[in-house]
């Protein structure tokens, strides 16, 4: 008999560790009653799409994909030809963690990476990358992708987004947002989803559901209808057209109708701030980036980080060597306090 571990102690290495929130689970259970037409021609998919249009206050085009790799890669491919390039931050997920998928699905569009201090793109960085060469031997810049919130837990303000989009319009570049933690960014800024996207100049958004309390699923939202032409064919070709689509779309109904998407993000963000405040007095370590969304990055020497590991804590150190702690919709406050106590004990 296969042994399944019963140790359910929460870890904060990734917000992907969490389970499915009740609202998403209940919607899937309700969608499981009886039969429904396949391949997205069902009431649940229509309802979820309409809810996104209500949320964003505009007639956007909505598609559903299984994961963020597909969502980002296919949407960028829709913006570019094979001889084009996409400008992104050096630390962007599409560059470091997508296994070349953006290039693969676009038949070769090159990623041009800009160095950044904290993962946030600037107008100056975009302009430098877009104008460095304009000869036919170099892939022509066509799009910019930004991550909201960033891989370092930073959040773009609405004003920053508007400035980036103005630069993109001037340079005739499309603007795409990787919103794996879009809900966390909205909760952090306190604006509406519309204000953070199309009203600020974002043309395509990948809205993350997995990290916000769903089992699987990302929504690809096109605010410019012309860019969505034939996108359903891209999804089919890439294996992203779910035959039983209602199970990919119905969790969104539960999340959006109940407001769970926002409550989940607010809780995760609050837990990150709780850890940050709880370890503010340490002297043998430091917080590497401002805590704005649901991430805390802790810098210390390897010996002390190993002591944390010996106490049973799991974390990654792939961004700048700092220990990354991510918080989710179901994070237990007592567990956050336990982590803070261990960090303080080791690093004070």
CA–CA dist 213, 73 (Å, integer): 22
pLDDT tens digit sequence for 174-214: 999 999 999 999 999 999 999 999 999 999 999 999 999 99
pLDDT at 3: 45
**Dihedral of alpha carbons 261, 262, 263, 264, sign:** positive
The CB density around residue 133, as the number of other CB atoms within 10 Å, is: 12
SS3 for 87?
A: strand
SS3 for 231?
A: helix
Region of 151 on the Ramachandran plot (φ > 0 left; ψ -120 to 50 alpha; else beta): alpha
CA–CA dist 194, 322 (Å, integer): 34
- Do the beta carbons of residue 218 and residue 206 sit within 8 Å? yes
Domain ranges of the chain: 22-259, 261-347
- Do the beta carbons of residue 296 and residue 270 sit within 8 Å? no
pLDDT at 7: 60
Residue among 324, 334, 336 at smallest CA distance from 16: 324
- Do the beta carbons of residue 293 and residue 284 sit within 8 Å? no
Which CATH entry fits the domain spanning 261-347: 3.90.1150.10, 3.40.50.1370, 1.10.10.10, 1.20.1260.10?
A: 3.90.1150.10
CA–CA dist 84, 306 (Å, integer): 44
Q: What is the DSSP code string of 7-23? A: ------S-GGGS---HH
Place of tokens 């953070």: 196
SS3 for 332?
A: coil
Which CATH entry fits the domain spanning 22-259: 2.40.30.10, 3.40.640.10, 3.10.450.50, 2.40.110.10?
A: 3.40.640.10
Report residues of the chain scoring pLDDT below 50: 1-6
The CB density around residue 108, as the number of other CB atoms within 10 Å, is: 14
| Alpha-helical segments (H) within 11-63 | 22-31, 43-56
CA–CA dist 319, 339 (Å, integer): 20
pLDDT at 5: 44
- Do the beta carbons of residue 218 and residue 71 sit within 8 Å? yes
- What pTM, to 2 d.p., does this model score? 0.95
Residue among 190, 196, 191 at smallest CA distance from 177: 196
């Amino acid at each position: 008999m296969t042994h399944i571990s019963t140790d359910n102690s929460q870890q904060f290495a990734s917000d992907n560790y969490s389970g499915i929130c009740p609202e998403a689970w209940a919607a899937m259970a309700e969608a499981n009653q009886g039969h429904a037409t396949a391949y997205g021609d069902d009431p649940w998919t229509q309802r979820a799409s309409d809810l996104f249009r209500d949320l964003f206050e505009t007639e956007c085009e909505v598609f559903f994909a299984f994961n963020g790799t597909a969502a980002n890669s296919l949407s960028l491919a829709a913006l570019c030809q094979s001889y084009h390039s996409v400008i992104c931050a050096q630390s962007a997920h599409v560059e470091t963690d997508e296994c070349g998928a953006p290039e693969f699905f676009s038949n070769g569009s090159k990623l041009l990476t800009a160095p950044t201090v904290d993962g946030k793109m600037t107008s100056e960085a975009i302009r430098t990358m877009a104008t460095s060469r304009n000869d036919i031997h170099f892939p022509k810049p066509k799009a910019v992708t930004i991550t909201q919130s960033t891989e370092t837990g930073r959040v773009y303000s609405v004003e920053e987004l508007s400035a980036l989009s103005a630069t993109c319009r001037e340079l005739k570049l499309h603007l795409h947002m990787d919103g794996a933690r879009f809900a966390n960014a909205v909760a952090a800024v306190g604006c509406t989803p519309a204000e953070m996207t199309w009203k600020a100049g974002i043309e395509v958004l990948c809205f993350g559901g997995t990290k916000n309390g769903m089992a699987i699923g990302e929504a690809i939202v096109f605010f410019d209808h012309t860019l969505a032409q034939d996108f359903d064919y891209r999804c089919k070709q890439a294996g992203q057209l779910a035959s039983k689509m209602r199970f990919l779309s119905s969790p969104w109904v539960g999340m959006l109708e109940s407001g769970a998407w926002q409550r989940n993000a607010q809780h995760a963000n609050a837990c990150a701030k709780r850890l940050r405040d709880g370890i503010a007095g340490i002297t043998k370590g430091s917080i590497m980036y401002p805590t704005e969304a649901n991430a805390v990055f802790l810098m210390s020497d390897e010996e002390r980080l190993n002591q944390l590991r010996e106490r049973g804590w799991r974390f990654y150190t792939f961004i700048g060597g700092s220990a990354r702690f991510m918080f989710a919709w179901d994070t237990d406050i007592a567990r956050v306090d336990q982590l803070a106590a261990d960090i303080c004990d080791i690093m004070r």
